Structure 1
Amino acid sequence: MRSVIEAAQALAEGHLVAFPTETVYGLGARADQAQAVAQIFAAKGRPSDHPLIVHVADAAAAAHFAAELPPVAQRLMQAFWPGPLTVIVPRRTGLAAEAAGGQDSIGLRCPAHPVAHALLQAAAALGVMGVAAPSANRFGRISPTTAAHVAREFADQPELLILDGGDCNVGIESAIVDCSRGKPVLLRPGALERAAIEAAAGEPLHDRDKAAPRASGTLAAHYAPRAKVRLMSAHALRTALELLGPDEARQAGLAVYLRTVPPPTKMVVRRMPSEANAAARELFATLRALDDEAGIRLIWVEAPPEDSAWDGVRDRLTRAAAA
């Protein structure tokens, strides 16, 4: 396995490094160097105005990139850092503009994964105070939750340094809360439930509005496999499967990902865990596995429950189906 010290040195020299976090694997570059950040956009095929999240080792490093840390942001950082929560705060003028997609605000997160944390600390010792890192995949596609996913995604870039930290134990990207405009606004759900975030914030979360800053992973279509995803209620999925039958399903290149619907025979089937965190942990790996099945062109997915514990999973599947 490539070493953390080797990876930190590569970041300091302006190279790309893929590394694990507890959410998904990230494709990172030093956030304070425009040329380094530009490599992320080029490798992913990502629009340069779509902002990146800057990963930091601690709150002191976050303050390096922030013009200010509003009180609500500080409360959320205290409650959930290190962990799967990103706060958007006013950006320090003249710093990390490219990573912020040209906006006056910036997204900051302190990851909990021990490899990520060790990397950020080692990089900071070399003068790299933050690492801009979106998910280590092609833009708009399924996020990687293992080092093998990253290696396959960037097989055409064998020079990419990949730190292997095992499977990601959260499995979907961080929740994002905008704290830059005087009220906390939930821009993207994650594994943390809304009620828990509101309790730590000490005030209700507002819903996204037209004035919200752009943020990672919030486009209508995202997280998508090559196969077309269709999100269906349990009743609609059960009815459609009964009408279609296994022979037609094979001809259509259909796979199904279900939770409560009885699994049909002679079809490519994956079962969704009944518990939200377990489903989140397996979601992207399952979509990748179905996408890799020979001949699969369609993936029918049973819609998750409506309760808030499933908000993050439902968000990712809704965006995957919109692609």
Structure 2
Amino acid sequence: MMSQLRIELEEKRAVVLPTETVYGLFAKALDEEAVDYVYQLKKRPRDKAMNLNVSSFDEIVDYSSHQPTFLKKLYDAFLPGPLTIILKANSRVPAWINSGYDTVGFRVPSHPKTLELIQKEGPLIGPSANISGKKSGTVFEDIMAEFDHQVLGYEDDPAITGKDSTILDISQEKARILRQGMITKEQLLEAVPELTFD
């Protein structure tokens, strides 16, 4: 089912879009009121940081510091795709994104419609389209029942996998997998042998 989606974002508002994993609530990351709105929609605790959804390697570099030498190899192997990368944040990352922590997560979704919006309006936040603490948003009808009158637009896609992205923290000398998702430790090491894990 096609949506009423407007491929643009107004201030203080959000859209529901698919990724290759689950549906997300996307809003302008550098607009504090838009980020606040998504926190309110999800009932998400403010100490739980948001990721930056970007569309290129250069954008990851623009919003991070202390990048490891293998970062480009990691990007080329898995992104766009179901991998979230945690790096040290730089001063361009506002506190309302990373809740004042010194790190920030990066996501580059591969879904073409979502990537198009990120390229046009990004960087964006895009947490899963569900109330905080509930299962990630995978059933479009349930999401619409929850958020339909509170978002600018939406896009359905029955092809989403429902599997989470892998979260890889490379902000320290040793890498850590914070959430095991679609990409395995073995796949990461095969593509990037320079990775060392705790």
TM-score, normalised by the number of residues in structure 1: 0.57
Give the match for residue 13 of structure 2: 15
Deviations 1:42-74, CA, capped at 9 Å, x for gaps: 111111111112111111222222124322333
1:73-222 matched pairs, under 5 angstroms: 73-123=71-121, 129-154=122-147, 158-203=149-194, 206=197
Task: Give the distance between the partners of 2:193 and 2:8, measured in 1 at CA.
Answer: 37
In the TM superposition, what is the alpha-carbon distance from 1:201 to its structure 2 partner?
2.5
User: Which fold has the larger relative contact order, with Cα–Cα distance below 8 Å and residues 6 or more apart in sequence?
Assistant: 2
Deviations 1:292-313, CA, capped at 9 Å, x for gaps: xxxxxxxxxxxxxxxxxxxxxx
Q: Which runs of 4+ in 1 moved over 3 A?
A: none
Task: Give the distance between the partners of 1:162 and 1:140, measured in 2 at CA.
Answer: 24
In the TM superposition, what is the alpha-carbon distance from 1:166 to its structure 2 partner?
0.8
Cα pair distance change 1:32/1:16, threshold 3 Å: same
In the TM superposition, what is the alpha-carbon distance from 1:152 to its structure 2 partner?
1.8
Task: Give the distance between the partners of 2:47 and 2:63, measured in 1 at CA.
Answer: 18
CA contact 1:170–1:191 (8 Å) conserved in 2: no
Task: Give the distance between the partners of 2:153 and 2:135, measured in 1 at CA.
Answer: 18
CA contact 2:137–2:143 (8 Å) conserved in 1: yes
Task: Give the distance between the partners of 1:196 and 1:93, measured in 2 at CA.
Answer: 32
In the TM superposition, what is the alpha-carbon distance from 1:96 to its structure 2 partner?
2.9
CA contact 1:89–1:180 (8 Å) conserved in 2: yes
Amino acid at match of 2:13: H
Superposed CA RMSD in Å reads: 1.8
Amino acid at match of 2:99: G
Task: Give the distance between the partners of 2:116 and 2:68, measured in 1 at CA.
Answer: 27
Question: Over alpha carbons, which structure has the higher Rg?
Answer: 1
Task: Give the distance between the partners of 1:122 and 1:173, measured in 2 at CA.
Answer: 25
Which of 38, 53, 56 aligns to 1:55? It is 53
Of all paired residues, the percent bearing the same amino acid is 31
In the TM superposition, what is the alpha-carbon distance from 1:204 to its structure 2 partner?
5.1
Cα pair distance change 1:75/1:149, threshold 3 Å: farther
In the TM superposition, what is the alpha-carbon distance from 1:29 to its structure 2 partner?
1.6
Task: Give the distance between the partners of 1:76 and 1:62, measured in 2 at CA.
Answer: 12
In the TM superposition, what is the alpha-carbon distance from 1:168 to its structure 2 partner?
4.4
Structure 2 residue runs of 5 or longer lacking an equivalent are none
CA contact 2:9–2:28 (8 Å) conserved in 1: no
TM-score, normalised by the number of residues in structure 2: 0.90
In the TM superposition, what is the alpha-carbon distance from 1:110 to its structure 2 partner?
0.6
CA contact 2:18–2:160 (8 Å) conserved in 1: no
Amino acid at match of 1:35: E
Higher helix share: 1
| Larger CA deviation: 92-101 vs 74-83 | 92-101
In the TM superposition, what is the alpha-carbon distance from 1:94 to its structure 2 partner?
4.3
Amino acid at match of 1:116: T
Task: Give the distance between the partners of 1:89 and 1:204, measured in 2 at CA.
Answer: 14
